[in-house]
Chains A and B, each alone.
Chain A
Amino acid sequence: MALEKPYLDIPGTTIFDADQARKGYWLNQFCMSLMKPENRARFKANERAYLDEWPMTEEQKQAVLDRDLNRCIAHGGNIYFLAKIGATDGKSFQQMAGSMTGMTEQEYRDMMLHGGRPIEGNRYIGEKK
């Protein structure tokens, strides 16, 4: 029986549910390894070789190499764990979050300073603003 997913109509949002947690298990394990400074150093020295130590799919590895967080999430990544890649790169959480929105860093920062993305039009897919 399929899992109940009463959240699929929320726009621009992937809920980290059981399907995602299963799909992304090793991608997220890789991210967790970056909590150790020696692993961050090894990853930075040779990203591909470090990724090849993990039983991740090729799509997952490529999404990490491309630093494409939306694709990382589509392949099962969780933002809390993915954030450890960003921190390894010296990126702030705001830079990481902004990178998923199609906005430039400055546009995203300005949007936040002006109160963030509004609720109107963002509750349901297809909702009129």
Chain B
Amino acid sequence: MATIVGAITTSHVPAIGGAIAKKLHQDPYWQPFFAGYPPAREWLAKARPDVVVAFYNDHGLQFFLDKMPTFAVGAAPEYRHADEGWGIPTVAPFRGDPELSWHVIERLIAEEFDLTTCQEMLVDHAFTVPMSLLWPDVDAWPVRVVPIAINTVQYPFPSPARCFRLGQAVGRALEAWDRDVRVLVLGTGGLSHQLDGERAGFINKAFDQMCMEKLVAEPEALTRYSTVDIIREAGVQGVEFVMWLAARGALTGTVARVHASYHIPISNTAAGLLVMENRPRGAAESRAAA
């Protein structure tokens, strides 16, 4: 049976990709941001995931306005990054896990999530930047991946509650996966930021910190926010927080916070990082929950 080791949720600002390529880790602007990541990598070294299931949002590398899926699940043997036209260096291709992908797809559709399935899928910085932060300086990625893209480009977006339930369904599917693999769930994006209009530069530290706090032990409280509530409180692109909710939803056990980091600003964004461990519920607890 698959083991869900935990979830890491992190910002994916494209400039981070540039800073990694230019090795700006010790630069005064970047140092406080990069300093947040070694504890996450130390935890990963102990958690030893074989597979990463990642919730992220594509920004126009794979999906455009011609066809815009609300939820798209990768089922490819390999996922490539490509020139996004933003000057971000590309990274090595990622190995997929099509069997696990199709298992997740089957379970999600059985739970009435109507998905787009992708046997070919490019992944953009929202997927690659967090992977590079978690596994820097590798020639080949040490994990297989299952990318799940959620639309946050063209309104209406799926609601925070719906994204959380999608995550929960993914968690159930992973638990039911009859293979001895260790799975890390990744949620990328946020935290508060707005890239466009006269309100650009908008940051809401109090809201971000409340979200990081509640996500661990009472994520349901956050699902009461509507999409527009989050845009109002966290900025237009702050709505990417739904990826964090989906990732947290996939943790089926008792969840403990391992590490957190928060830094303003990276470019236009409040950058957040949260590492949550998923501890299996005890037998007694499982019986009580059943």
Contacts and interface: CB of A to CB of B under 8 A. Distances in A.
Given A14-B196, A97-B195, A97-B196, A116 B267 contact: no
A117 B268 CA distance: 10
Contacts of A25: 65
Q: How large is the interface on B (under 10, 10 to 19, 20 to 34, 35 or more residues)?
A: 35 or more
A56 interface: no
A80 B199 contact: no
Interface in B11-29: 13-15
B228 interface: yes
27 contacts: A10-B228, A12-B197, A13-B196, A15-B231, A18-B154, A25-B65, A28-B65, A34-B85, A35-B61, A70-B198, A84-B85, A92-B15, A93-B268, A94-B267, A101-B199, A101-B200, A112-B264, A112-B267, A115-B203, A116-B192, A116-B265, A116-B268, A117-B201, A117-B202, A119-B204, A119-B233, A122-B202
Interface in A15-56: 15-18, 21, 25, 28-29, 32, 34-37, 40
A119 B85 contact: no
A45 to B, nearest CB: 17
A88 B85 contact: yes
A69 interface: yes
A12 B203 CA distance: 14
Given A35-B84, A93-B267, A93-B268, A116 B196 contact: no
Interface string B152-170: 0111100000000000000
A17 B267 contact: no
A21 to B, nearest CB: 5
A56 to B, nearest CB: 14
Contacts of A81: 60
A119 B206 contact: yes
Contact of B86 (A6, A28, A83, A112): A83
Given A21-B65, A116-B202, A93 B14 contact: yes
B83 interface: yes
Contact of A117 (B65, B203, B226): B203
A98 B236 contact: no
Contacts of A119: 202-204, 206-207, 233
B232 interface: yes
Contacts of B156: 17
B95 to A, nearest CB: 24
Interface of A: 6-7, 10-18, 21, 25, 28-29, 32, 34-37, 40, 69-70, 73, 78-81, 83-84, 87-88, 90, 92-94, 96-98, 100-102, 108, 111-113, 115-119, 122-124
Q: Is the interface of B mostly helix, strand, loop or mixed?
A: loop
A74 B143 CA distance: 43
A122 B199 contact: yes
Given A12-B197, A21-B154, A92-B267, A40 B85 contact: yes
B264 A116 contact: yes
Nearest to B29: A113
Given A116-B203, A119-B202, A119-B204, 20 more contacts: A7-B231, A7-B232, A12-B197, A12-B199, A14-B196, A36-B85, A78-B153, A78-B154, A84-B84, A84-B86, A97-B195, A97-B200, A97-B201, A97-B267, A98-B201, A100-B197, A102-B198, A112-B265, A112-B267, A115-B205
Most chain A CB atoms below 10 A, which of B60, B82, B205: B60
Contact of A13 (B60, B83, B199): B199
A113 B265 contact: yes
A127 to B, nearest CB: 10
Nearest to A28: B65
A121 B47 CA distance: 44
B85 A16 contact: no
